[in-house]
């Protein structure tokens, strides 16, 4: 005689960009989900393909719960994304606390995005040799938002703050991140080394004499230097193009 397993059902809806992870027929609506046993809502949500790092608020029958809540038959579950641009501290959030200062660590596939974020002044760690374990540990230990194209990386239990970058091209990725974390007012361009991520220091023309091309010495008066790698920056021909790119990014907010 075979065993008969009893299944339970919840009625669940995901909001905003969390729908990106769902099949088309389950987007923007409440759907039934059958399950067995007593899974936590964290496990239930991730079984549907949504990394827990993308979630900031879960309501069960209208009451805020954390990831450890165990799903029960007949519950109504609403799942919301990260509210970086809105303070929902009166409600119980599923992560320890939001990161109001946006600092990032990026996986090995996002080198172009790392350069753009540094150009805009954001503290961004990137190295093409980081392992998944190292990325997760850096994110947790240094309280950095983990940006990745790897959904599985965001499902690691230790990671609290992360985001799956949807776009494939660097210039689209940086616009996506700016919108996602509402960072337009925090842009502080040309203040970090694009190689080392260190904050730049202003230096005099005399201090860089002989270290930059003679033509640059003739036409430029303002210089910055990276204290880590000694790379020198000035407003050359590339500066105008970078400024135009930043202006286009800012215009997208409007």
Beta strands at 145-148 and 162-164: parallel, antiparallel or unpaired: parallel
d(CA 76, CA 65): 12
Q: Which residues form the domain of 34?
A: 8-81
d(CA 102, CA 99): 6
Tens of pLDDT along the chain (254 residues) come to 455 556 899 999 999 889 999 999 999 999 999 999 999 999 999 999 999 988 988 999 989 999 999 999 999 999 998 765 545 455 655 666 555 578 999 999 999 999 999 999 999 999 999 999 999 999 999 989 999 999 999 999 889 889 999 999 999 999 999 988 888 888 999 999 999 999 999 999 888 888 888 888 888 888 999 999 999 998 887 888 899 999 998 887 75
What are 2's two structure tokens?
A: 């075979």
Q: Tell me whether residue 144 is in a domain.
A: yes
Q: Tell me whether residue 88 is in a domain.
A: no
Q: Tell me whether residue 1 is in a domain.
A: no
What are 127's two structure tokens?
A: 């190295």
**Where do we find the tokens 């210039």?**
171
Q: Tell me whether residue 30 is in a domain.
A: yes
Q: Of 49, 81, 113, which residue sits at a domain end? A: 81
Domain match, 164 and 211 both = no
Q: Tell me whether residue 99 is in a domain.
A: no
Using DSSP's 3-state secondary structure scheme, residue 77 falls into strand
Q: What distance lies between CA 23 and its chain's CA centroid? A: 23
Query: Residue 82: which of 123, 54, 111 has the closest Cα?
Result: 54
Q: What is the pTM of this model?
A: 0.75
| CATH assignment of the domain containing 26 | 3.10.20.30
For 240-244, the CB contacts below 8 A with 24+ separation are: 242/119, 242/189, 242/190, 243/189
Q: Tell me whether residue 177 is in a domain.
A: yes
**Where do we find the tokens 């109001």?**
100
Domain match, 181 and 208 both = no
Domain match, 129 and 170 both = yes
Domain match, 178 and 206 both = no
Total number of domains constituting the chain:
3
Q: What are the distances in angstroms from CA 120 to CA 24, 146, 153, 187, 253? A: 35, 18, 26, 5, 15
């Amino acid at each position: 005689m075979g065993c008969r397993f009893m299944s339970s059902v919840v009625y669940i809806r995901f909001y905003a960009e969390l729908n990106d992870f769902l099949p088309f027929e389950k987007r923007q609506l409440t759907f039934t989900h059958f399950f067995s046993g007593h899974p936590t809502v964290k496990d239930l949500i991730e079984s549907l393909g949504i990394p827990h790092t993308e979630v900031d608020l879960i309501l069960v029958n209208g009451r805020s719960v954390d990831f450890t809540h165990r799903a029960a038959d007949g519950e109504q579950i609403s799942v919301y994304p990260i509210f970086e641009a809105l303070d929902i501290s009166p409600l119980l959030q599923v992560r320890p606390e939001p990161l109001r200062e946006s600092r990032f660590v990026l996986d090995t596939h996002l080198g172009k995005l790392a350069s753009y974020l540094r150009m805009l002044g954001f503290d961004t760690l990137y190295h093409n040799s980081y392992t998944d374990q190292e990325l997760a540990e850096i994110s947790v230990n240094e309280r950095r938002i983990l940006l990745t194209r790897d959904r599985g990386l965001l499902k690691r239990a230790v990671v609290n703050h992360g985001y799956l970058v949807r776009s494939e091209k660097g210039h689209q990725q940086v616009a996506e991140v700016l919108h996602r974390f509402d960072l337009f007012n925090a842009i502080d361009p040309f203040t970090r080394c694009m190689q080392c991520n260190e904050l730049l220091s202003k230096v005099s023309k005399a201090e860089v004499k002989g270290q930059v091309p003679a033509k640059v010495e003739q036409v430029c008066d303002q210089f910055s230097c990276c204290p880590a790698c000694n790379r020198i920056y000035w407003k050359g021909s590339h500066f105008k193009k970078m400024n135009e790119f930043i202006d286009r990014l800012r215009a997208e907010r409007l």
